Amino acid sequence: MPALQLTNPTSVIINPSTNTDGNLEFTCQNNSLSQHENSLHIQHETLPITIEITDFSDTNGQWTVNATHEDENDDTQNWSRAPGAARCTFPWSETNQVHEVEVTATNGSAPVKKKSVLFKVRPYPDQPDPV
């Protein structure tokens, strides 16, 4: 299935969890990103747009999420921490690009969990390209 398409969302919040194998999974607006090749296309009339990836709990306790991606100059951008989430604001200059975001979840006792997710932020109403 192609990337999950969002048009003019009021906010973009990614909710991680762990699956039965203990691996990270992501949902956005009640859609599993694993069913969308872990890809999300966001079209918006007004940029910049902020994306949040929330902290979460499972049977191993509370997990803190951090994220990074490379910008248009291939420099690593560390997402800021907001209460309960990792957050990044994508400016106009970073539109029409695919950003591979590496998500790391830690809880202090269980092994660190890592997974990547792809984001593409585009100005609305352009049609998104496939990832």
Tens digit of each residue's pLDDT (9 = 90 or more) over 27-73: 999 999 999 988 888 887 777 788 999 999 988 889 999 999 888 78
Cα distances (angstroms) measured from residue 23 to each of 20, 87, 95, 115: 7, 21, 30, 8
The pTM is what? 0.85
Written as one letter, the residue type at 5 is Q
Dist CA 65 CA 107 (whole Å): 9
The yes/no answer on whether domain 4-123 falls in CATH 2.60.40 is yes
pLDDT tens digits, 63-108 = 999 999 888 788 899 999 999 999 998 776 666 677 889 999 999 8
